[in-house]
Structure 1
Amino acid sequence: MTDELPEPHPELRDPDWQRHAEKEAWVDYRRDRRRARRARRLTIAAAVLVVLVGGGYALVEWGKTTADHYDGASTGAAAVTTTTPTDLPDFGRVDLSRPFDNTPAQNWAEGIAGLSTPAPAKTGAFSAQQVSSAIDSVKQLITLGFLDRDTLETTPTSTSPCCRKTCAISSRRTSGTPTARRPT
């Protein structure tokens, strides 16, 4: 085989034919671009039309469902009806002496007994007795802060019973047990 290229056809060398071929290529290129532009515009118009029709359909359906709420008889403000506890059915009544019956909370312990803590163990530089004392102090503060009726119903002052209990617990904690420092 030879590495030579075949001789080009004699018409390919003709300058008139080359001008005609170039002109025809530009015409085809412009026609293809025009078709692509037209197709793009048609696609955008179809998408806009679909969105408008879908939105119109949704508004009509929403109007039908909201129109069902209005019977046309009432004009102006709607009449306000109130229900009293006597209007409740029997299954809606709650026995206030045992409000958690027939609920998942019926098996929970009352008050601070519902807070379960792990058994005290030596933790870091603190002995098991110090950890136990800290857990008891935290439980007492939770009881006073969140479960004690005096704390919940009165405004705390320095002479109120809840503040005296809290001060007694915090002073006992700071004076009774030494604090350990973390190693640096």
Structure 2
Amino acid sequence: MNKNRIILFFIFLTIFTIIFQLGSMSTVSQEEADLFMEEFEKLVLDIDAFGIFVHNTTIALPMFIPGFGIFWGLFSSWSTGYAFAAIATSVPEIANISPLTILFLTPFGLMEISAYSLGISRSFILIKAIFTKSSLFQFIKPTIIEIGIVIGLLLAGGYIEFYMIELVENESLEIPGF
């Protein structure tokens, strides 16, 4: 992997993080938070590890689309941060947790941000190649490899996230008052 590829990955990881943080700092009214939580609860009602993987993959794969993937990825970043703000409005205990902690100190958070940063940065590489009229054939193999890496990261991340959710739910059932 060349040095420029690694630098681009970290540039988009940083941009993703900043936009996620900005989204998490959004002011969400109680009404908006309640509406979000209602939709969120429907979404995750019977979700399992594979469902988490499918959800995250449907977000990640469009990030590989040249040009569009950059905007989609950054919109997804802000939306995820906004979702955190909505959850924090509805569940005040969450407000005491830094959103970046969840992103960088959980295994699934690291896997997801790495996957998304790979997709967004590849989108940038591809759109740059299109604008400079470079042959796209040289990008087919690395793009396919990176899509495979993203799928692997999100599959593992989905199972880890599900396991951690189950662990927290089981612990809270055993603690009186929760």
Shorter-chain-normalised TM-score: which range?
Answer: under 0.3
Query: What TM-score results when the alignment is normalised by the length of structure 1?
Result: 0.27
- Could you say which structure has the larger radius of gyration? 1
